[in-house]
Structure 1
Amino acid sequence: MLPELSAILDLLEGGFGRLKILVVGDLMLDRYIFGEVDRISPEAPVPVLRHARRYERAGGAANVAMNLTGLGCQAYLAGFWGDDGEKKELAAILEQGGVDTVGVVSGTLPTISKTRIVGRVQQLLRLDIESQDDRPEVENDRLRERVVELAGKMSAVILSDYAKGALTPGLCEAVIRAAKEAGVPVFVDPKTPDFGKYSGATTVCPNLKELALATGIAAHKTGEVIAASTGLLSEHDLSFLTVTMSEKGITVVEPSGSYHSPARAREVFDVSGAGDTVIATLAAGVAGGLKVRTAVEFANLAAGIVVAKVGTVPVARHELIAALTPSSGISSGDKVLDLERVTKRVAEWRAAGETIVFTNGCFDLLHVGHIALLEDCRRFGTKLILGLNTDASVSRLKGPSRPIVGERERAKVMSALAAVDVVVLFDEDTPLELIRSLKPNVLVKGGDYSVETVVGHEDVIASGGRVEIVPTVEGFSTTNIVRKMAEGGQQSAAKLAEVLR
């Protein structure tokens, strides 16, 4: 389980929305064309692809920005694109993704694009559109003016360098200086072995091959490369280095030493864009107040999600929440939420394809009947929400002598159960408003009920859900426990009186 889990969930469930992060770098359009190959062309010895489908994705620095909005951050993008069809396609993707392109300059060179032609799962050809001409200095000046103006207003700045010309040494120097003067951290994804271009940044995030080139040591000598990289920190005024090591995970190099975060084990389909996800998640985590080690672990988790997808696909917030909130792995303190946070978490779970189950009760003095009910609930879906009556609600329903156990203690006990994913308190006599807010897929009630007598059944069924009735375990109830305790107390008092007589 990740450290600072509660803080991470707070960020994912709204905290990231407060962050403004600027991405500066090389914008690209990634295009994929898929089809079937079953013959060779009679015109030339090349395969004939029968087109099946195509799609476009934001690539390069644009993909970094898409990862940020996927986390819930406010993403601002700066770079170049041309006046062409690729620009229109990329702009549409970014607009739909919620990325602000206020820093993007329309230039004279074409929008960079990469078209991958794939037969089934085998890439047959990649067609790149980009100019090798030098960009007019007036365009570089315009971009520098925009990003310097924006940098000081951000929570963090990311320099996404794909060596396509946007990040000139002068631009990097100006952005880093403006950000540092405003106390804004700068994160760099490099594409050059000379880190001097990025001097003064908070961290540079090379892969192992890039770091090996920077240190002059062969990449297979991993230990020596990491040890030698410590000198780069002082040489280039960096706080730390973040080294991505493919399937091995991420290593962080600090002046005091290094530590390693192993990769989160997943089946790997495509590593395209994984580096973009790492730097976006790392920057957002640190800007959001996480410790560096926690942010690195978080970035590792995010990378593990995107490499299980085909193509350049940004991480989505609901995927991270689903990965971070298995009932067996989350602590009880992180399960007791107010309605606002429960509603957000349910939305993310639903987006991730989870089946939401809801049940409710007072649960005063936990007994085997309660356990049986919750285990039955779990069979009907993948996430279980427990609505718990507050003390005031219990008193109105059960009388002034109840509850025996206070709401905070009851919530703590119920959230410690593996079957329960979330506990939410409600003050009304019935959970009707709670059910209407959460819209569960399955509403479960234990006892001698019919579907028509279960509170909220009409709303659940109207929204496409269903109601399940499970039998209670005979002989077990809080009332019986209270009665036995009272009878036992009376017997003990009688025995004591007899002894003292």
Structure 2
Amino acid sequence: MKELFKKSKPKILVIGDLMIDHYLWGECERISPEAPVQIVDIKDESFVLGGAGNVLDNLKAFGADVGIASVIGEDENGRWLEKRLKARGIKELALIKEQGRKTSKKSRVIAFHQQIVRFDKESKDSISKKSEEEILKALKEKLSNFDLILLSDYNKGVLTSSLVKKIIKLAKNKVPIFIDPKGDDYSKYRGADLITPNKKEASVASGINIKDENSLKKAGFYLKNKFNFNNVIITLSEEGIALFEEEMIKIPTVAKEVYDVTGAGDTVLAALGFSVASGKNLKDAIKFANLAAGVVVGKVGSATATIEEIEEYERSLHKKSFDEYIKSYEKIQEVVKYLKNKGKKIVFTNGCFDILHIGHIKYLEKAKKLGDVLIVGVNSDESVKKLKGENRPINSEYDRAYILTTLEFVDYVVIFNEETPYDLIKLIEPDILVKGADYKGKKIVGSDIAKMVKLIDFIDGKSTTEIIKKIEKRFHKKGQT
């Protein structure tokens, strides 16, 4: 994926409602004696770009060259927004300040990954005709500088019906326009290249209750035909995305864990715009948007996803061949270099893992929790024979390595021939070296290389040797074969 986008730095203009997303992070352990409400002990707070600003942040994370046109207030929040946009390297096509207008700010109280309450400070009145004219004037002068325009409508007054209609007319057949809509009247978006409502918004705008495949199809094509949209995309939460071209196509979601859907629609709009402006078709753009959304809903609050995060997330979803995760010394060196450049904490452990059992599983599961990436060194057949005797291993080195790669918490496996993994540890230089608790007080190979050594308890009575003894006792009695 990185290869597909590495030469892409599309120029994208975002027009819409800028706001601040303010987060108060805390803990909640009791109920107020004054009223039946939760008491949140605030530990931290953060401020990020919200609304159209979150679209901008996502585009910057992808690597786009981004411009903004919007209207804010002459207030403290407006000054914060202006400063943040400059710090993020976002070009101001038109950032207009209106006297008396409140710059939108949404404050959310979060405790234990859950949103407790939200309170908003904002103006919802339509912007002035003068502000509309200033945006249009700037757009006429700079339209040819952009590959694509995204309209992020939060119904806060920037994207008035007259302004949107004039923008679409101005850009028609020159620059594609993608829109994340709001409200129940889509006539102002008529003629747009793409519109991206969610299921609820599409139901309201079409007047069709979307409850199954048939009603979804009717609603999508109703909007497409009635308002002359070139394409319609309806986002369906955990069900994925529906694309309406000549036919309806459903593309499933790829989210593994959902902590917070805040800003997921912004990510989808940004990802679609970035992909298409980079030369991809809509189907490929939707696949990319699905992956990007899968990353951000696994975070709390308004979030973004980089190309690297999306690429890593896609790899975690599609382990098409577990052989890819069995690495040679040369390949693991390349992988480790990449991981360290990304600031990942690397954990290493090793063993024979001849007959995989629950003791192994629990041990490896605990090892992975100590860092970001778990690399397991596996003794080769030759190495096992030297350590365990001629009758071992029971399973070949390839079988043992392959089985380990199928475990969710094992990231990479490397087979080594030596009696100890010292040379492999020297090559990897792990942050954490993990061994069994039976090594307490003993010299641990590689402890002079790793930054830290951790000992993990085994489960009593669980070992390959004990399993072999049990099999021999049960099936190799006199008279049995």
| Category of TM-score, reference length = shorter chain | 0.5 to 0.7
Query: Contact 2:67/2:90 (CA < 8 Å) preserved in 1?
Result: yes
* Residues in 1 aligned to 2:215 and 2:85: alpha-carbon distance in whole angstroms: 41
* Residues in 1 aligned to 2:50 and 2:139: alpha-carbon distance in whole angstroms: 20
The alpha-carbon distance between structure 1 residues 23 and 348, as it changes in their structure 2 partners (threshold 3 A), is: farther
Amino acid at match of 1:241: V
Query: Contact 1:322/1:348 (CA < 8 Å) preserved in 2?
Result: no
1:69 paired to 2:60: yes
Correspondence for 2:290 among 285, 288, 300? 300
The alpha-carbon distance between structure 1 residues 124 and 219, as it changes in their structure 2 partners (threshold 3 A), is: same
Give the superposition deviation at 1:134: 4.3
* Residues in 1 aligned to 2:237 and 2:43: alpha-carbon distance in whole angstroms: 32
Give the superposition deviation at 1:221: 4.5
Where 1:15 maps in the other structure, the secondary structure is coil
* Percent of residue pairs bearing the same amino acid type: 31
Query: Contact 1:321/1:345 (CA < 8 Å) preserved in 2?
Result: no
Correspondence for 2:270 among 277, 280, 298? 280
Amino acid at match of 1:315: A
Amino acid at match of 2:129: E
Amino acid at match of 1:84: D
- Count of residue pairs brought into register by the alignment: 381
Structure 2 counterparts to residues 100-249 of structure 1, below 5 A: 100-108=91-99, 109-182=101-174, 184-249=175-240
Deviations 1:126-166 (A, max 9, x none): 22111244433212221222234333321111011111111
* Residues in 2 aligned to 1:113 and 1:35: alpha-carbon distance in whole angstroms: 19
Correspondence for 1:9 among 2, 9, 30? 2
Query: Contact 1:317/1:348 (CA < 8 Å) preserved in 2?
Result: no
Structure 2 counterparts to residues 96-495 of structure 1, below 5 A: 96-108=87-99, 109-182=101-174, 184-254=175-245, 256-325=246-315, 328-329=319-320, 350-351=341-342, 353=344, 355=346
The alpha-carbon distance between structure 1 residues 134 and 323, as it changes in their structure 2 partners (threshold 3 A), is: closer
The alpha-carbon distance between structure 1 residues 134 and 239, as it changes in their structure 2 partners (threshold 3 A), is: closer
* Residues in 1 aligned to 2:142 and 2:132: alpha-carbon distance in whole angstroms: 16
The alpha-carbon distance between structure 1 residues 40 and 150, as it changes in their structure 2 partners (threshold 3 A), is: same
Query: Contact 1:187/1:204 (CA < 8 Å) preserved in 2?
Result: yes
The alpha-carbon distance between structure 1 residues 143 and 330, as it changes in their structure 2 partners (threshold 3 A), is: farther
Where 1:159 maps in the other structure, the secondary structure is strand
* Residues in 2 aligned to 1:188 and 1:280: alpha-carbon distance in whole angstroms: 10
The alpha-carbon distance between structure 1 residues 451 and 216, as it changes in their structure 2 partners (threshold 3 A), is: closer
Q: Mark the runs of 5 or more structure 2 residues left unpaired by the alignment.
A: 325-332, 349-367, 376-400, 404-411, 434-444, 447-481
* Residues in 2 aligned to 1:331 and 1:188: alpha-carbon distance in whole angstroms: 41
Runs of 4+ in 1 over 6 A off after TM superposition: 330-333, 342-346, 444-448, 450-454, 463-468
Deviations 1:8-54 (A, max 9, x none): 43244x233x2111111001101011223435265x66554332111
Query: Contact 1:114/1:129 (CA < 8 Å) preserved in 2?
Result: yes
Where 2:155 maps in the other structure, the secondary structure is coil
* Residues in 1 aligned to 2:32 and 2:42: alpha-carbon distance in whole angstroms: 15
The alpha-carbon distance between structure 1 residues 54 and 168, as it changes in their structure 2 partners (threshold 3 A), is: same
* Residues in 1 aligned to 2:253 and 2:92: alpha-carbon distance in whole angstroms: 33
Aligned to 1:90: 81
Superposed CA RMSD: 4.4
1:52 paired to 2:61: no
TM-score of the superposed pair, with normalisation by structure 1: 0.64
Amino acid at match of 2:106: K
The alpha-carbon distance between structure 1 residues 179 and 134, as it changes in their structure 2 partners (threshold 3 A), is: closer
Where 2:145 maps in the other structure, the secondary structure is coil
The alpha-carbon distance between structure 1 residues 204 and 345, as it changes in their structure 2 partners (threshold 3 A), is: farther
1:21 paired to 2:24: no
Give the superposition deviation at 1:222: 4.6
Give the superposition deviation at 1:97: 3.5
* Residues in 2 aligned to 1:134 and 1:157: alpha-carbon distance in whole angstroms: 21
* Residues in 2 aligned to 1:102 and 1:346: alpha-carbon distance in whole angstroms: 40
* Residues in 2 aligned to 1:174 and 1:348: alpha-carbon distance in whole angstroms: 48
Amino acid at match of 1:86: N
Moved more, 309-318 or 230-239: 230-239
Give the superposition deviation at 1:228: 4.2
The alpha-carbon distance between structure 1 residues 11 and 343, as it changes in their structure 2 partners (threshold 3 A), is: farther
TM-score of the superposed pair, with normalisation by structure 2: 0.67
* Residues in 1 aligned to 2:89 and 2:336: alpha-carbon distance in whole angstroms: 21
